[in-house]
Amino acid sequence: MNLRTVLFLCCLVAAPALAQTESASKSGVEADATVAPEAEGTVPLADIQRFVSVYRAVRQGYVDELPDRKVMQAALRGLLTDLDPHSAYLDKEQAQGMDEFANGSYDGVGVELVQLPDRSLRVIAPIDGTPAARAGLLPGDVIIAIDGKPVDVDNADAGKSQLRGEPGTSVVLRVLREDQPQPLELTIERDTIRVTSVRACLLEPRYGYVRISTFQSETGAELGKVIAGIQSTDEPLRGLVLDLRSNPGGVLGAAVEAADAFLDAGLIVATKGRTPFSNARFNATRGDLLNGAPIVILVDGGSASASEVLAAALRDHRRALIMGERTFGKGTVQTVLPLDNGDAIKLTTARYYTPSGGSIQARGIRPDIVLKAASFDEDSDEILPRESDLPGHLQAADAGSERGEREPGKPAADSDYAIHEALIMLKGLSVFGDKAAAGNATEDAASATPDAPAR
């Protein structure tokens, strides 16, 4: 693409404004771009001229000669990166990588990242059972160098591509950690990541544990299968621990399906944006897999996006208690829009709203029962980063109040403090539920008994 082509494209974008100016000139009115209002949907002509001037300066004066395609891609990346932390321009490889992640299989280290202003990459959460988790990468870690070179990328998605590669190859990360005075170096061997997003087991007879590590296209169906595997008609579960800690989110539809698995009716989540396709309401259908048995949801600062949708939906319907730390606070929806050359843009198109009508964007979900180290004050922010810490984050856009490497297959309640506490809570809730049910049954029996004759 040469400069003449760029000018031609800019003229096409400006055509409505130019036509308006020409019309004003023919009618004898002096055309003044600084005074005449711009037609809705057009780009101001002065801004286009300014863009062309900057493009020309880069082409002619940059220290190294740059291909036109590289300059234009840099401009497009900058346009999206400055909007919010989650909008990005994706080249063909990155776009394919997003599809692979949603389907649960790709080559890499298995980590969810977000970009900081200094172009370093912050870990939202490593995914269970992946090389990143096994190597000891933790939520809140900041990656400052990859293979000895300082991170220098335009967005987090480009950084992810640097971590991808052939299985068996290694990548060395230099990492800053909150409680470490010196950077750490972690060597991680890439692998084919086949993420099993849902795992389940029994903590004790009739008390179940389900771990959802990320939300993929098949997560809803997998959830039904694993719950069926740990309960039976003869021995239904009396309670469930649902572990969403360090779950970075994923496919919104999968979180909706997971919430629907425990609800009989009602709103799960609503999305609101500026375009018709961005506005939607997702409602539950009849059928609770646990038949009302209590649920305790475990969350932490790495619980983000779709995991927050699930947690908020179940709490708002009084279907679950939330235990742990305040969640990350990512309450926005991204849509991937493909381009004709195989590239794509990932654009923030909506905020999502909980059944109570509130937004958790940049707020997070504050748990019903706080679990954290005793040295932290309850009202202080935890050391893990949140959405509200990211520069350029979107506001919640509502007036609502804030409510705001483990062994994943067989967790031991006596070695994981949060699971231990959740199990104790479940037992209490189930006993209370049994007494309430027994009381209702007694009342029903009394009302069904014929009145005795008077004596």
Question: Picking from 19-23, 134-138, 271-275, 305-309, which range would have the lowest pLDDT averaged per residue?
Answer: 19-23
pLDDT at residue number 380? 43
* Domains 88-194 and 198-433 in one fold: no
pLDDT at residue number 372? 72
Question: Picking from 98-107, 165-174, 430-439, which range would have the lowest pLDDT averaged per residue?
Answer: 430-439
pLDDT at residue number 154? 58
Q: Which residue among 160, 330, 346, 372 is the active-site one?
A: 330
316 belongs to the catalytic site: yes
Phi, psi of 25 (to 5 degrees): -65, -40
Q: What does DSSP say about strands 320-324 and 369-370: parallel, antiparallel, or unpaired? A: parallel
What is the rounded CA–CA span in Å between residue 66 and residue 4?
Answer: 16
More confident residue, 122 or 369: 369
Residues 387-411 have pLDDT tens digits of 776 766 787 776 444 433 334 445 6
Work out the average pLDDT over 417-444.
73
Question: Residue 238: is its pLDDT beyond 70?
Answer: yes
Q: Confidence band (pLDDT; 50, 70, 90) for 442?
A: very low
Residues 316-353 have pLDDT tens digits of 999 999 999 999 999 999 999 999 999 999 999 999 99
Residues 78-114 have pLDDT tens digits of 889 889 989 999 888 888 878 877 777 788 998 888 7
Residue pair 289/319 in contact by the 8 Å Cβ criterion: no
pLDDT at residue number 378? 41
pLDDT at residue number 356? 96
Residues 243-298 have pLDDT tens digits of 999 999 999 999 999 999 999 999 999 999 999 999 999 999 999 999 999 999 99
Residues 174-216 have pLDDT tens digits of 999 988 999 999 999 999 988 789 999 999 999 999 999 999 9
Minimal CA–CA distance to 323: which of 244, 434, 429? 244
What is the rounded CA–CA span in Å between residue 82 and residue 86?
Answer: 10
Q: Which residue among 87, 305, 307, 359 is the active-site one?
A: 305
- 328 is written with which tokens? 């990350």
More confident residue, 151 or 390: 151
330 belongs to the catalytic site: yes
Q: Can you state the percent helix, strand and coil of the chain, rounding each to 5?
A: 35, 20, 45
CATH fold group of domain 198-433 = 2-enoyl-CoA Hydratase; Chain A, domain 1 (3.90.226)
pLDDT at residue number 318? 96
Cα–chain center distance at 384: 16
More confident residue, 197 or 119: 197
* CATH class of the domain comprising 88-194: mainly beta
* Alpha helix positions (H), 104-136: 131-134
DSSP 3-state assignment of 337? strand
pLDDT at residue number 41? 63
Work out the average pLDDT over 14-21.
41
Q: Confidence band (pLDDT; 50, 70, 90) for 31?
A: very low
State the average pLDDT for the chain.
81
More confident residue, 77 or 447: 77
Question: Under 8 Å CB-to-CB from 65, ≥6 apart: which residues?
Answer: none
Q: Which residue among 303, 316, 346, 359 is the active-site one?
A: 316
End-to-end distance of the chain based on CA atoms, in angstroms?
A: 104
Question: Which residues in 163-192 are b (16+ Cβ under 10 Å) and which e?
Answer: bbbeeeeebebbbbbeeeeeeeebebebbe
Q: Please report which helix (H) or strand (E) contains residue 69, including its range.
A: helix 68-81
pLDDT at residue number 20? 41
Which residues are paired to 212 by β-bridges?
198
Supply the angle between the helices 219-230 and 252-260 in degrees, to the nearest 10.
30
Minimal CA–CA distance to 298: which of 328, 323, 326? 323
278 belongs to the catalytic site: no
**So where are the chain's domains?**
3-66, 88-194, 198-433
Note if the pTM is more than 0.85. no
Residue pair 215/251 in contact by the 8 Å Cβ criterion: yes
pLDDT at residue number 42? 76
